[in-house]
Structure 1
Amino acid sequence: MNDPRSDGVKATFWSEGADGEPSVTWFDVEDESEVPLAGDFRTFVEGLTASAAFDGGQD
């Protein structure tokens, strides 16, 4: 994901968390939409879930 215009999850300082950490947002370039994922980076990381929880461990 080297193209800054690509879809993806990005930490942004447009909206900072309580301790000045960046919020984490999903940017969808094609739909021109943004989905806030967490108010700060720590909350984002603590909320991550292994993919096995969604696909029953099947790859």
Structure 2
Amino acid sequence: MLNNTSSILAPICTDQTLNGQETDEDCGGGLCPKCEDGLKCQGKNDCISDVCGAGTCQ
């Protein structure tokens, strides 16, 4: 018998897809590695450089 509830998949930080809490593809969001310069961020903790300006790691 199938269950009609949807399951939530954990984000996978190497699947080349923006998912879970990631701020850019496979980075940021606290669970994946920090993002390189030029990638999207929501705060300094998403960036390797610890600098997030206008939504982009710098």
TM-score by length of 2: 0.25
Bigger helix share: 1
Bigger strand share: 1
TM-score by length of 1: 0.24
Q: Identify which of structures 1 and 2 has the higher relative contact order when contacts are C-alpha pairs closer than 8 Å and 6+ apart.
A: 1
